[in-house]
Amino acid sequence: MFEKVLIANRGEVALRIHRACREMGIRTVAVHSEADANAMHVRLADEAVCIGPNRSRDSYLNMPAIISAALITGADAIHPGFGFLSENADFAEMVERHGITFIGPSAEQMRMMGDKITARAAAIKAGLPVVPGSPALESVEHAIEWANKIGYPVIIKAKDGGGGKGMKTAFNDAEVKEAYTMARAEAKAAFSSDTVYMEKYLQKPRHIEMQVLADKYGNVVHLGERDCSIQRHHQKVIEECPSPALNQQQREEIGEIVRTAIEKLGYTNAGTLEFLYEDGKFYFLEMNTRLQVEHPITEAISGIDIVREQIRIASGATLGYSQKDITFSGHAIECRINAENPETFIPCPGKINEWHAPGGLGVRVDSEIYSGYTIPPYYDSMIAKLIVHGKTRNAALMRLRRALEEFVIDGVQTTIPLQQEIISQAEFIDGQYNIHWLEKFLEKKQNSKPKAKDI
């Protein structure tokens, strides 16, 4: 087992990794920007190293600085968390070249699944169901040709995309021309590559993902599915598991398909396969070769510490259990609490005057916020995750309602009021929603506001 792990991240995920390490008797090294000098994970880690100025590109994306911090402190492994360098194959290679273990899959596996075009080909070869789609698009004419082959509507996507960037829908030839140009421009700006491809655009799908764990000896398990359909601009807002849309036979079938595919791919460590689900059919979207933001809800129903398993697998340990040993209990829901205006979604960094996290049976809060902490303006606006677990979905919903009422964050605006609205809607309570539901709800809410009278 490792003696010292460097955590190449910030915020709640850095604290999450620190906690897993400490429970395993592993010392930790926190790296931080100048803006995060007073962050909780920095205060709790055994050692801390400042790796640069406030901006991410000068600190948390500064690969040489992170490697230097690991070498100086004698860390024998690096956990990348999620975001930043967590799916950067060049970073994983650099870590290994310096004799340090990267806690995650290999660089080769990252490259295969990180490129959405090669990932799609690998998925087909591994037996996963996929959305009808195209190869890399070479021109507007090529895009129109494929759109007519696939059938409208279609969506054009950046091959290196994520977070909704470089994604444009089209319902006819004229819209394809505009979508192709705009998607390439966005992709170039966000990912330094303007390569795009096309898929059939499903109009009322749910976003279902499957969590997997795989060791270096060919042992693979899945930990069930998560429903991440409550999202805005492809950014997840609320997640739950199991999905209210699936029956037991469906989840067992897709679970076995995914587990077998991971075996064929030879993948190791933790990963998540994302699908669109519509009319009883699954369509592979992409694979995330890292820890997911929403991993706590899977931990709640499976009883398995996913971060601990990541560390164990990277150290060379076997899983020690098979699929038949995995059991699921109850229902879990997660709310991503962002420091944002709940109507305009404009980030609201600033000082936390008062902080009170909810507690009680079946309530978990992942956050490194504390009273007096100042949220810096340089990073993602997510400041906490509220996770609840109950014996049934209804019990979890009631617990979530209570926990959101109990949550006190004074000094900045947050998305809590929006999440309270969402979980009170009949469609959400009944589990009758898809990936477009939230945006339509927000649009309807905006349109119902009184219009200012003309002067």
Q: Is 290 a catalytic residue?
A: yes
CA angle 141, 145, 149 (to 5 degrees): 165
Beta bridge partners of 440: none
The packing angle between helices 306-314 and 11-23, to 10°, is: 70
**Which among 134, 157, 163, 138 is positioned nearest to 146, based on CA atoms?**
134
How many Cα atoms within 13 Å fall on the side-chain side of residue 170? 29
39-48: Cβ within 8 A, 24+ apart: 39/10, 39/11, 39/14, 39/368, 39/373, 40/15, 40/368, 40/369, 40/370, 40/373, 41/7, 41/10, 41/11, 41/14, 41/15, 41/368, 44/15, 44/18, 45/7, 45/18, 46/4, 47/73
Amino acid at position 362, single letter: G
**3-class secondary structure, 21:** helix
Cis peptide before 376 (omega within 30 of 0): no
Contact (Cβ atoms closer than 8 angstroms) between residue 77 and residue 103 = yes
Q: Determine which helix (DSSP H) or strand (DSSP E) holds 178, and give its type and residue range.
A: helix 173-191
- Estimate to the nearest angstrom the gap between the alpha carbon of 44 and the chain centroid: 25
List the catalytic residue out of 184, 206, 226, 290.
290
**Which among 158, 134, 161, 160 is positioned nearest to 148, based on CA atoms?**
134
Strands 4-7, 77-79: pairing is parallel
Rounded-to-integer distance, Cα 281 and Cα 244, Å: 15
Q: Is the dihedral of CA 444, 448, 454, 455 positive or negative?
A: negative
Alpha helices in 24-126 (DSSP H): 40-44, 63-73, 89-97, 107-114, 116-126
Active site residues: 290
